[in-house]
Amino acid sequence: MYMARCPIMGVVPIALFLTASFFVLFTLRKVTDKWLKVLGYSALALLLFSALVVFSGMLLDSARGLKMCPMSGKMKSRTMMRMMDKNNMPEMAMPEKGLPPKE
């Protein structure tokens, strides 16, 4: 079953990428070897690029109209109506003859 993503859920990975970027920058100040600095700056660039990709995806989802989580507003009422429809769940339908006899 396909469910749309919540745009607000992009905040967590962005925070993780930016936190890792901070620690990479913090470590780069202590490093004196040239190649380790190059490796650190390339890792920093990848982390910042990843945060930018997640942020742009979050903006695109918001622009498409996914302002809130998928289970809110109209979608919630449509989904609940579909779930409560007796034709979709015949095993949950009430018996027509009444209660079964006790054993």
Q: How is residue 99 written in tokens?
A: 């209660």
pTM, 2 dp: 0.56
How far apart (Å, rounded) are the C-alpha atoms in residues 22 and 47?
A: 10
Q: Of how many residues is the chain composed?
A: 103
Phi, psi (5° rounding) for residue 6?
A: -85, 130
Render pLDDT for 6-62 as a digit per residue (tens, 0 to 9).
667 778 888 999 999 999 999 999 998 999 999 999 999 999 999 999 888 888 877
**Domain coordinates in residue numbering, the chain:** 18-64
Q: Are 64 and 87 in contact (CB under 8 A)?
A: no
How far apart (Å, rounded) are the C-alpha atoms in residues 48 and 21?
A: 7
CB atoms within 10 A of CB 53: 14
